[in-house]
Structures are given as structure tokens and as C-alpha cells.
Amino acid sequence: MQATRTPDPARRNPDSTKAILEAALALARDEGWSKVSIEGIAARAGVGKRTIYRWWPSKGAVVLDAYVSRLQEAPYMSPEAAATDDLRADLVRVLNDTWNMVSDSLPLLAALIGEAQHDPDLAARLWERLIAPSSEPVQARIRLAQDRGEIAPDADPFRAAELIYGQIYLRLLVTPKALDEGFLEDCVDLSLRGLRVRP
Amino acid sequence: MQATRTPDPARRNPDSTKAILEAALALARDEGWSKVSIEGIAARAGVGKRTIYRWWPSKGAVVLDAYVSRLQEAPYMSPEAAATDDLRADLVRVLNDTWNMVSDSLPLLAALIGEAQHDPDLAARLWERLIAPSSEPVQARIRLAQDRGEIAPDADPFRAAELIYGQIYLRLLVTPKALDEGFLEDCVDLSLRGLRVRP
């Protein structure tokens, strides 16, 4: 399930890439997922369809890359450089930084994950480019807290991130209840109850 | 988002309902989600298309009901009648009972949730008929454990169920790692770490 079907992205024209990604995101948000097409993206970006098909195999792959390029602007905490003494506050900050980048386009993220259930290539890209990288700062901060003796040494940072993010994705995709900043804080608190070293 | 568009299901013919639901589930599993159609279900069940459209608004709604009818055969623990003294074992048993009913058709459950991202009526049905009811035994067992002083009195049983199920749905829909009985046990253990009363 490796996403290796496209040529080296470093060889893309940066200006047309930017135009394509911005057009894809704008179309998806303005018109809704089902109205997005490669033709529509090409028209809005002022490029030919073949330019898009050269670099992306599907509309899902274009919209995903647009999403990823936005998330890369998020001020993710580097745990070595910016971790404070407050584990809870640092984890809440990571979640809020992501949240601020995606909260205006949650239906689009849900649509991408929905589409990935029918498209193994998109599923692999989604994991490798978006979901896995976005949980890495949480895992790094958990590891730092283990080094500092705050988190139980037997806790697996990957599973700890699943514990936190599972609650969030369940609300995004399934549960008709509020998904907001207060909920993000509660997800951190409920998860840390079981992860912290007991006094 | 209430799923109230169909007439009273009690007025359906039980034999043709059973044939339709079995045909939908068999088609979805044999051919894959994208190949399922109302026409195909009708042909396999030996009924007319209009019979199906009278009771269900979409193929997703039919497949969902087929799923629900199978899950209703699961030997869900009634916490009053069948809870043992072992909270962990009881929660693992609830998850395993569900698991045994769905593990041969996980891609279908994922496809239903994927389809629900584009279909608000299906999303409402999915929550009301499948996801919410399937978490109720977990919530009931958590409440019983609170009454017995084993689970922290400030823990919200609904959030506790989100903590457990979030991890499972994240793997089902997003994370390319094993989703098996060992993982279900680990989800219970990791969640109970933070929910149990501390000695």
C-alpha cells in the first residue's frame, strides 16, 4: 500500500502546483466534495488536465495534498525546542494548532477519510502524508514526558497517540456531538489519567 | 438528522425483509460495496425494486439494516443479568461478542461509515441503529463498576466508551495496523488504566 505511483514531486512547477492545490481546496470547500473534479480543478487553476494527472492519480490525492500543504503551515511544537514544563498544556497546544488549521474544513477531512474507504491508494497517502505525521508531535511529547518520569515507562507513545486521537476521529466521523476546543482538552485529560505515573 | 423518512418497519413483510437483508449483505461481501445496487439486491432477493424503495431510501440504508440485524444476534451481556466480578473480562467479552459478528465483514463496516460522510440520512441511521446501541453494554458495565466503587465516580460512561471505541474505529478507518482480538484487549486495558479508582 505504498503511494509510489507519481514521479518525483520535486520536479513539479512550484507555481502551478500552488495554483492547483489552492484551486482544489477552494472548490472542495465552496462546492462540496461530490462536486470536485479534475476538470474543475484544472479550470480554476488555469492549467491543463494532463498537468494534474501527471502528478496526482485522483481528485482525492489532489485535495489531500492541498490539505497537507496547509497543515505544514501549522506551528507544530518541536518537543526539543518548545516543550514547556506543562505536559497537558503542550499536548493541548499541539491539538489546538492542528485544530486551527482544519476546523473550517472538517467536512472535507471527513470526506477524504470516507473516500479512502473505497480507494486503497488514497488510504495509503492519507496515512503517510497526513494522519501519521500529524500525530508525531504528540508521540514526541509523550516520549519526552517519559524521559522526565511523568509518563509511565510501559506506555507505548504510539498507542498513547491512538488513545487521544481515536476519541477525536470517532467524533469527526461517527458521533453527532460537539467537536470543539473544549472536547480536545477533555480528550487530553481523559487520556493522561491513565498514562501519568501514579504518585 | 433524524432517520424518519421510511414508513413503520413493523408493517414490512418479514419474509421479504429477511430475503432483502440477506441479499444485501451477501452482495456487499461477495462483490464489494461499489458493486451493490438496489437492482442487484432486488434480483438476488427475488423482489421488485419498488418493494425495497418503499422501505429504504438508499443501498446504504439496506446494507446498514442487514448489519444491524446480524448484530442483534450477538450475545450482548446484559449488565444486570450477566456481569461477573471481573470488569476487564466483561468489557473484553462485550467487544469480542461484537467482533465475532463483524470481523468477517470489516471492509463493509468501513464502507458504510465512508458512505455516511456524504449522506446525512445514512449518518443518522448509522449512529442511531448501529454505533450508539453497540456501545450501550460498555456504558452499562462502566456504570455498574461505578456503583461497585471500581471506576472513578467522576468518569462519564459515555466518554469512557468513546475512549475505548475511538481506538478501535481509528484502526478500522485510518491506521494500517492489526485490528484483532489482542488489540481489543489492549484497548480495554489502556482505557481502564485511567478510569479505575486508584488504590
- Asked if B110 and B35 sit in the same domain, the reply is no
Point out the domain boundary residue: A20, A52, A68: A68
Within-domain flag for B100: yes
Residue B111 has its nearest CB partner, among A118, A166, A171, at: A118
- Asked if B44 and B95 sit in the same domain, the reply is no
- Asked if A92 and A48 sit in the same domain, the reply is no
- Asked if A115 and A159 sit in the same domain, the reply is yes
Could you tell me the residue range of the domain that residue B27 belongs to? 9-68
A172 in reach of chain B (CB within 8 A):
no
Q: Which residues pair with A151 in a beta bridge?
A: A196
pLDDT at B4 over 80: no
Within-domain flag for B3: no
Within-domain flag for B23: yes
Please tell me which residue of chain A has the smallest CA distance to B193: A194
- Asked if A39 and A87 sit in the same domain, the reply is no
Please tell me which residue of chain A has the smallest CA distance to B110: A117
CA atoms within 13 A on the CB side of B115: 21
In B77-116, which residue ranges form alpha helices assigned H by DSSP?
Answer: 79-82, 87-102, 106-116
pLDDT of residue A101: 82
Within-domain flag for B149: yes
| Shortest alpha-carbon distance between residue A97 and chain B (Å) | 21
Q: Helix or strand or coil: residue A177?
A: coil
- Asked if A27 and A56 sit in the same domain, the reply is yes
Q: Distance between terminal CA atoms of chain B?
A: 44
Within-domain flag for A3: no
- Asked if B23 and B95 sit in the same domain, the reply is no
For residue range B51-64, list pLDDT tens digits in order: 999 999 999 999 99
For residue range B111-135, list pLDDT tens digits in order: 999 999 999 999 999 999 999 998 9
- Asked if A133 and A62 sit in the same domain, the reply is no
| Shortest alpha-carbon distance between residue A165 and chain B (Å) | 8
pLDDT band at A76 (very low <50, low <70, confident <90, very high): low
pLDDT of residue A129: 94
pLDDT at A1 over 70: no
Point out the domain boundary residue: A28, A46, A68: A68
Name which residue leads in pLDDT, A4 or A51: A51
- Asked if B83 and B169 sit in the same domain, the reply is yes
- CATH code of the domain covering residue A31: 1.10.10.60
CA atoms within 13 A on the CB side of A66: 26
- Asked if B41 and B60 sit in the same domain, the reply is yes
Within-domain flag for B133: yes
Per cent of chain A over pLDDT 90 is 73
For residue range A14-24, list pLDDT tens digits in order: 899 999 999 99
| Shortest alpha-carbon distance between residue B13 and chain A (Å) | 31
- CATH code of the domain covering residue B133: 1.10.357.10
- Is B109 within 8 Å of B99 (Cβ atoms)? no
pLDDT of residue A49: 96
Within-domain flag for B172: yes
Picking from A112, A163, A164, A179 by the largest number of B CB atoms within 10 A of its own CB, the best residue to mutate is: A163
Cross-chain residue pair B126–A176, CB shorter than 8 Å? no
Cross-chain residue pair A174–B127, CB shorter than 8 Å? yes
- Asked if A28 and A112 sit in the same domain, the reply is no
Quote the number of domains for chain B. 2
Point out the domain boundary residue: A43, A68, A93: A68
- Asked if A181 and A142 sit in the same domain, the reply is yes
Within-domain flag for B1: no
Cross-chain residue pair A191–B163, CB shorter than 8 Å? yes
For residue range A126-149, list pLDDT tens digits in order: 999 999 998 999 999 999 999 999
Task: Give the DSSP letter string of A55-77.
Answer: H-SSHHHHHHHHHHHHHTTS-PP
